[in-house]
Structure formats: C-alpha cells, structure tokens
C-alpha cells in the first residue's frame, strides 16, 4: 500500500506505511498483514486491514488515531487477548498466535497496563505489585524486596503498606505500572493508562513513564488519543486511519532524551504535532 503524505522536513518526515525498521535496528515485535473482522449486533465490523509494523527492541511506539480506528484492537491482538482474523504477529521470533490460539510461551515477558489500574482493594500496594510473582511461585521475602524496589522506581516509596483507596488516581496507576514491571517484561503494552487523569497529573505521569522506560529498557507500545502525549513519549508515532484501521503514517520523533515539559514548547515538537494533526484532520 502506498499513501501520499504532505512534504515535510527531513527531521519530521512521515514514513510511507508498511513494515518499517525499529529504531534499534533489531526488531522485537513484527506485525505482518494483520486483518481483524468481528461480528457485532449491527453486522460485521472490519476493524483492521493489512497492518504491517516492525518495532525495535527497547523502542517506544505511540499509536494514535480517531476513536474507533482500531488502536485498542491492535493492542489487544499484540497482548494475546484477541486473535487476528488473518496475518501474523511475532515476538522475539515466536508467533504469538497459532491457528487462532494464543501461544502462551511467547507472552512470558509481556506486561500490560490499562486505563483502569485494576488493583485489588483488599491488598496493599506491595501485595498488588508482587501478585504476579506470587503466582509464579516466588517466596514472600523476595517478593517484598522486589515490590519495595519497584515502588521506588515508580515514585511510590513509603506507600508499600497503603491500600488502593488511600492513593490518588495517579498513584494507583504508578502501582499498576510497577505490577506490570514486577517480572521484568521485555515488552510493555499500555492502553491509555493516563486517560482518566487530570492534566497536571498526566504530565507528571508522562515524565515518570519516560524515566521508567529509560531504566527498565522495555519495548513499549502505548495507545493514546493525545497527539502531544504521543509525540512527547515516543521514538515513533504510528497514525491509524479510520475503520478499517490501516497505518497511514509512521513519524519518527528525533527529540533528545530525557525530555522535559519545556520540550513541548520547542519548534520541532510543535511542528511534529501540527503535521500529525493535519494528517488526522484529513481523514
């Protein structure tokens, strides 16, 4: 598939859709020819069409597009929660779907974070964070040590014994991210994790996530409705068309890291955001 895009400066050039190389040069996630069709009450819905994407190890990818374009559907396919109708998805060379069935071995190093933190209210922060380790048979002392380490990493030191009801929305999301990182995932999938937060808390969480990504080194696929958030966090921004979702463009973000909130006032940042919004408005 070829799509013409507006002429742009080399620094912010939007790439032609298709399989694009990851930033690191080593692909960790490969999506090839993925289609998704499902039955709804009003009939058949064609959610995704011929999606091709290569994501490099350690890369941060943001998925953006209008509501209903298939961002979450694509993430759920990557997460092993929804099988593709056709096409292949591989992680570290392993197919994650085999004949419509999930290949559980391929998901041993995946972490998931959703908009709702989904913490167990009767567990403390430490118990919530270390629950995946408990399910994997790790001893209590080791789990506690790992929970303490992760609370420090996500900015929750001293809250290990707090309960979810005692935390703000942003703090609960920090705990959810810590839980997703508990078993050292190499791939972290995030579906609008900050969508329900107020603007100031969201800015703080974006700064925190940038730091966590730098320290953990995981590959991140991040779904958001906010173009500014997508550009601030990502190495590349993937823009999907309205349903059926196709990759319209893949835009590199050559902004130095670490990025501060002042980065958003830079000409380069604003240029990337403006061009992505222009593409979105054309849909």
pLDDT tens by residue, 194-205? 888 888 888 988
The predicted model gives 80-91 an average pLDDT of 92
Residue 14 has pLDDT above 60, yes or no: no
Residue 5 has pLDDT above 50, yes or no: no
CATH of the domain at 83: 3.40.50.300
Q: Which of 141, 164, 184 is the last residue of a domain?
A: 184
In a domain, 16, yes or no: no
Q: How far apart are CA 168 and CA 197, in angstroms?
A: 10
Whether omega before 226 lies within 30 degrees of 0, making that bond cis, reads: no
User: CA 10, 208, 280, 241 torsion: positive or negative?
Assistant: positive
The fraction of the chain above a pLDDT of 70, given in percent, is: 91
pLDDT band at 64 (very low <50, low <70, confident <90, very high): very high
Tens-digit pLDDT profile for residues 40-56 = 777 788 999 999 999 99
In a domain, 130, yes or no: yes
The predicted model gives 235-242 an average pLDDT of 96
Q: How far apart are CA 52 and CA 161, in angstroms?
A: 44
The predicted model gives 88-105 an average pLDDT of 88
Tens-digit pLDDT profile for residues 243-268 = 899 999 999 999 999 999 999 999 99
- Give the DSSP H/E element, type plus range, for residue 252: strand 247-252
Beta carbons within 8 Å of 81's beta carbon, 6+ residues apart = none
* 221 φ, ψ (degrees, to nearest 5): -115, 120
pLDDT band at 184 (very low <50, low <70, confident <90, very high): confident
Tell how far CA 106 is from the center of its chain.
18
Residue 216 has pLDDT above 80, yes or no: yes
251 bridge partner residues: 237
Residue 279: per-residue pLDDT: 92
Q: Could you tell me the two tokens for 150?
A: 């992760």
Q: Could you tell me the two tokens for 36?
A: 């998704």
Q: How far apart are CA 188 and CA 233, in angstroms?
A: 14
pTM to 2 decimal places: 0.86
DSSP 28-74: EEEEEEEEEEEEETTEEEEEEEEEEEEEETT-EEEEE-STTSSHHHH
In a domain, 242, yes or no: yes
Q: Give the domain extent around 277.
A: 1-7+28-109+188-283
> 32 by DSSP, 3-state: which?
strand
Q: Which of 184, 216, 232 is the last residue of a domain?
A: 184
In a domain, 222, yes or no: yes
Residue 108: per-residue pLDDT: 83
Mean pLDDT, rounded, of the chain: 88
In a domain, 180, yes or no: yes
Residue 25: per-residue pLDDT: 59
Tell me, yes or no, whether 232 and 131 share the same domain: no
Per the structure, how many domains does the chain have?
2
Beta carbons within 8 Å of 239's beta carbon, 6+ residues apart = 14, 64, 65, 247, 248, 249, 250, 251, 276, 279, 280
Q: How far apart are CA 277 and CA 271, in angstroms?
A: 10
């Amino acid at each position: 598939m070829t799509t013409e895009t507006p002429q742009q400066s080399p620094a912010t050039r939007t790439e032609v859709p298709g399989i694009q190389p990851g930033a690191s040069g080593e692909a960790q996630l490969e999506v090839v020819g993925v289609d998704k069709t499902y039955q709804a009450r009003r009939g058949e819905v064609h959610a995704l069409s011929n999606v091709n994407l290569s994501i490099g190890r350690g890369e941060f990818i943001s998925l953006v597009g209008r509501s209903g374009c298939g961002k979450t559907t694509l993430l759920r396919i990557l997460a092993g929660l929804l099988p593709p109708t056709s096409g292949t998805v591989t992680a570290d060379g392993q197919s994650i779907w085999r004949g419509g069935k999930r290949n559980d071995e391929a998901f041993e190093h995946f972490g998931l974070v959703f908009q709702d933190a989904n913490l167990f209210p009767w567990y403390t922060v430490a118990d919530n964070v270390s629950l995946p380790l408990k399910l994997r048979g790790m001893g209590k002392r080791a789990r506690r040590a790992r929970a303490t380490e992760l609370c420090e990493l996500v900015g929750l030191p001293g809250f290990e014994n707090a309960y979810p009801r005692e935390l703000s929305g942003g703090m609960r999301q920090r705990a959810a991210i810590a839980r997703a990182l508990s078993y050292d995932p190499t791939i972290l999938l995030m579906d609008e994790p900050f969508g329900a937060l107020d603007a100031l808390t969201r800015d703080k969480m974006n700064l925190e996530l940038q730091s966590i990504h730098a320290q953990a080194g995981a590959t991140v696929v991040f779904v958001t409705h906010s173009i500014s958030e997508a550009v601030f966090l990502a190495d590349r921004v993937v823009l999907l068309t309205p349903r059926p979702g196709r990759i319209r463009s893949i835009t590199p973000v050559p902004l130095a890291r670490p990025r501060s909130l002042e980065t958003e006032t830079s000409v380069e940042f604003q240029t990337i955001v403006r061009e992505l919004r222009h593409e979105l408005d054309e849909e």
